[in-house]
């Protein structure tokens, strides 16, 4: 019995075989009837067997009843013992010991009770004497089996609770990570924009006011009430345009962005803020990495069950090797993995002096 040390994966295979039983045991409605039910079946089986041996109906019934009660008593004790007390590796002997004691005691109780009750039935007493080892032989394996089952069920229940807790914790950390990944794109962009406003206030107050509004709109978008909700591509693109407007104030007319989005794909939905980091990445390598005019293209189309998005920017192969894929891409890849459990949704690479990022978003409808 290496339940404790075996990894969850190993347990899984066993789990399926025991799941049915486990469900019966852990289901409060069904589980309640398992012990009395077994007792009744046991009673009936013994009764019919004893009748076949030619015992008197009354005696057979009494014998079976007591034997059945002994079994039920044993089951209750075993169930309680192994549900609440899980033996450690070093005292696993209890799995054998407890049923052994219980079945011995059960057979003895049965023997003395019935021989006391039927003092005069000499033939039956002889039969009782003869069959006591047989009864022991029946009771012991069954109680052993029950002890094992009770132990397994208790373990599985514990396992189930553990994995439930683990799943909850995983979900929590996933949510936290997603939230963090969404927010990570902010600080330097925010502070640089504020600095631009600071500069504009003195020289072009009207433009400063405009930028304050743009920045507010953009920030409102990042702290939407329901960050888990999917938004339409159109919404995301509007948001993107807001972001680009701000960047354009910061970098003047060096930045040119082209959108090529099929109309039919504009209503398609996608997780929020997935494209923005890609464009931010394109800007980082295109605009921050190069001097002169920079043209960034954003294309979107529907292909079978995917929304295909492509962001491309020119880059300087010499200086861009510096940061490789950069944080923006890896954070998007991580988010895609957390959302869809797949790693093949984001592709990136250089094509000549163009850097292209391809994003696939599965559409479930």
Partner 1 sequence: MIRTIIIDDEPLAAGLVQEFLADFPQFEVLEICQDGFQGMKAIQKHKPELVFLDVQMPKITGFEMLELLDAPPAVIFTTAFDQYALKAFDAKAMDYLLKPFSQARFKQAIDRFLESREKESPAEPSDPELNQLAEKSNRLVVRVKNDIKIIPVAEVNFFEAEDDYVTIHTSAGKYLKKMTMKVLEESLDTGKFARVHRSFIINLNGITGIEPYERDSYLVKLRGGEQIPVSKTGYSRLRQVLGL
Closest CA to 59 of 16, 17, 113, 11: 113
Minimum distance from CB of 309 to partner 1 (Å)?
A: 26
Which of 206, 318, 351, 365 lies at the binding interface for partner 1 (CB under 8 A)?
Answer: 318
**Cβ 345 to partner 1 shortest distance, Å:** 26
Interacting span for partner 1 (CB under 8 A) from 46-54, 78-86, 196-204, 353-361: 196-204
Interface with partner 1 (CB under 8 A), residue from 6, 91, 129, 321: 321
Structure tokens at 168: 């909850």
Integer angstrom CA distances of residue 355 from 189, 275, 303:
22, 15, 22
Alpha helices per DSSP H over 275-355: 275-286, 317-320, 326-340
198 counts as binding partner 1 under rule CB under 8 A? yes
Three-class SS of residue 84?
helix
288 scored as a contact of partner 1 (CB under 8 A): yes
Strand partners, 356: 312, 349
Binding of partner 1 by 197 (CB under 8 A): yes
- Site for partner 1 contains 322 (CB under 8 A): yes
User: Between residues 3 and 251, which has the closer beta carbon with respect to partner 1?
Assistant: 251
- How many residues in the chain? 365
Q: Is residue 228 close enough to count as binding partner 1 by CB under 8 A? A: no
Among 99, 221, 289, 300, binds partner 1 (CB under 8 A): 289
Q: Count Cα neighbours of 192 within 13 Å in the Cβ-side half-sphere.
A: 13
Which of 324, 347, 349, 353 is the binder for partner 1 (CB under 8 A)?
Answer: 324
Asked whether position 358 contacts partner 1 by CB under 8 A, the answer is no
Q: How far is the CB of 296 from partner 1 (least distance, A)?
A: 15
Using CB under 8 A as the binding criterion, the count of chain residues that bind partner 1 stands at 29
Classified as helix, coil or strand, 129 is helix
| Nearer Cβ to partner 1 (217/316) | 316
How is 186-234 classified by DSSP, letter by letter?
Answer: SHHHHHHHHHHHHHHHHH-HHHHHHHHHHHHHHHHHHT-S-TTSEEEHH
Contact range with partner 1 by CB under 8 A, out of 38-46, 90-98, 197-205, 255-263 = 197-205
Measured from the CB of residue 80, what is the shortest distance to partner 1 in angstroms?
55
Among 85, 133, 191, 259, interactor with partner 1 by CB under 8 A: 191
Nearer to partner 1, 120 or 318 (CB): 318
* Residue 87, Cβ density class (10 Å: 0-12 exposed, 13-18 middle, ≥19 buried): middle
Find the DSSP H helices in the chain.
8-26, 28-52, 57-84, 94-117, 122-183, 187-203, 205-222, 233-251, 275-286, 317-320, 326-340
Q: Residue 39 in contact with residue 68, Cβ under 8 Å? A: yes
Q: Is 259 in the site for partner 1 (CB under 8 A)?
A: no
Q: Is 219 in the site for partner 1 (CB under 8 A)?
A: no
Binding site for partner 1 (CB under 8 A): 187-188, 191-192, 194-200, 202-203, 249-252, 287-291, 316, 318-319, 321-324
């Amino acid at each position: 019995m290496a339940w404790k040390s075996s990894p969850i994966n190993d347990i899984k295979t066993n789990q399926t075989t025991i799941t049915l039983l486990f469900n019966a045991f852990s289901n409060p409605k069904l589980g309640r009837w398992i012990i009395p039910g077994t007792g009744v079946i046991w009673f009936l089986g013994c009764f019919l067997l004893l009748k076949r041996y030619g015992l008197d109906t009354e005696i057979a019934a009494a014998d079976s009843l007591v034997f059945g009660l002994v079994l039920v008593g044993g089951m209750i004790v075993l169930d309680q013992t192994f549900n609440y007390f899980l033996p450690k590796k070093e005292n696993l002997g209890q799995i054998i010991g407890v049923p052994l004691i219980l079945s011995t005691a059960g057979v003895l109780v049965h023997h003395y009770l019935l021989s006391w009750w039927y003092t005069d039935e000499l033939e039956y007493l002889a039969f009782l004497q003869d069959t006591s080892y047989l009864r022991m032989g029946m009771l012991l394996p069954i109680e052993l089996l029950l002890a094992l089952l009770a132990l397994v069920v208790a373990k599985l229940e514990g396992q189930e609770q553990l994995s439930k807790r683990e799943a909850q914790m995983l979900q929590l950390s996933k949510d936290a990570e997603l939230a963090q990944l969404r927010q990570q794109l902010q600080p330097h962009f925010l502070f640089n924009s504020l600095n631009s406003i600071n500069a504009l206030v003195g020289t072009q107050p009207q433009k400063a006011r405009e930028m304050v509004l743009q920045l507010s709109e953009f920030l409102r978008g990042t702290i939407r009430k329901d960050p888990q909700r999917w938004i339409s591509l159109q919404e995301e693109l509007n948001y993107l345009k807001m972001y680009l407007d701000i960047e354009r104030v910061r970098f003047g007319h060096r930045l040119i962005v082209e959108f090529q989005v099929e109309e039919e794909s504009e209503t398609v939905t996608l997780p929020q803020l997935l494209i923005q980091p890609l464009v931010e990445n394109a800007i980082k390598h295109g605009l921050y990495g190069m001097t002169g005019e920079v043209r960034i293209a954003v294309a979107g189309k529907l292909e079978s069950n995917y929304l295909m998005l492509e962001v491309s920017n020119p880059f300087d192969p010499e200086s861009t090797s510096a940061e490789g894929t950069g944080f923006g891409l890896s954070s998007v890849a991580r988010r895609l993995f957390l959302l869809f459990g797949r790693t093949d949704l984001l592709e990136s690479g250089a094509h000549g002096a163009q850097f292209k990022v391809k994003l696939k978003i599965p559409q479930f409808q």
